[in-house]
Structure 1
Amino acid sequence: MLLGVVTLNSSSALTGGYDNYNYDLSGPELTRLYNSPVFHAERMKRPLNGFSTWLGPISHSGVRVTLADGSKWLIHKGDGYGHSSQTVVTNARHMSSAWTTVSSTEFHGRKTVSDLVRAGGPMYHWLTDNCHVGSRQMMKP
């Protein structure tokens, strides 16, 4: 299943809100991104709306990946984040400075962006299938 790449503005990257669905890529460029091998992955967290810091589950998490060309993309999930899946991909340039790395792993090209989106899962449930569950699933070897 091919999904769109969500574009965030700077305020929505900090708060997690989405004003609309814009797409950085489409067609062959989007297919190329989803088929791209992931070389490095960082599980990251940022504070939730209204909080100045994160503490365990009182946060939002996702996985920032680095591809062979050096580009960085954030894969994360949330309620209402996407159309056909609640796990979405956005260019990491849209991330705020509130994101911090909590762990990292080297995939050495053994997984693709699509593999990580699939691992994140298409559905969202605030308790049983949230951003933390999705980001942990994405980081599994």
Structure 2
Amino acid sequence: MASLKALLSALTLLALTVDASSGPGYSNYNYDLSGQDLTRLYNSPVMTAERMKRPLEGTSFILGPLSHSGVRVTLDDGSQWLIHKGGGFGLSSQTVVTDARHMSSAWRPVSSREFQGSKTVSDFVSAGGPNYNLFSDNCHLGSRRMMDQ
């Protein structure tokens, strides 16, 4: 039981280091789109989705849950967007969408799936969920739900 508590404490400390950024130099709430452009993005059909992982901020390795995950979607116009979640990532939802140009080179694909326009960006955000909880609704669980829809 003591080792489980130590592991949970370590996970909590590591989770607290997770930053909303997709890589160095990206700030919270740095909006690329608003208004009609944002609505258009949320209604855009997703052609392919890739589940992605990167090391936690301040580390250089990926080790199971000691990492950050999200889903990079490719739309019918060829643009790519990262949908991921974390504590403090968004205002009304902890699952957010950022332009994939903000992703650091540390992100690695884990799996991919063809959607051929059967789902929209909004469907992925909904599957990610509005809330964040390190143990019951974290980035890994959210990204798995996005891929399984």
Q: Which TM-score bucket, shorter chain as reference?
A: 0.7 to 0.9
Paired residues for 1:2-81 under 5 Å = 12-14=21-23, 19-81=27-89
State whether residues 28 and 89 of structure 2, in contact with CA within 8 Å, keep that contact through their aligned partners in structure 1. Answer: no
Give 1:100's aligned residue.
108
- Residue 50 (structure 1) shift: 1.9
Q: 2:124 aligns with which of 116, 128, 133?
A: 116
RMSD across aligned positions (CA):
1.3
Cα distance in structure 2, aligned partners of 1:18 and 1:93: 10
> Which is richer in helix?
2
**Gapped regions of structure 2 (runs ≥ 5):** 1-20
- Cα separation, partners in 2 of 1:70 and 1:33, compared to 1, 3 Å: same
State whether residues 23 and 102 of structure 2, in contact with CA within 8 Å, keep that contact through their aligned partners in structure 1. Answer: no
Cα distance in structure 1, aligned partners of 2:91 and 2:64: 28
Structure 1, residues 26-84: CA drift from partner, whole Å, max 9, x if none?
11100000000000000000000221110100000000000000000000000000000
Moved >4 Å (runs of 4+): none
- Residue 18 (structure 1) shift: 6.3
Cα distance in structure 2, aligned partners of 1:107 and 1:84: 27
Q: Which has the larger radius of gyration?
A: 2
TM-score (norm 1): 0.88
Q: Aligned residues: percent identity?
A: 73
- Residue 123 (structure 1) shift: 0.2
Cα distance in structure 2, aligned partners of 1:108 and 1:76: 21
Give 2:133's aligned residue.
125
Cα distance in structure 1, aligned partners of 2:140 and 2:60: 19
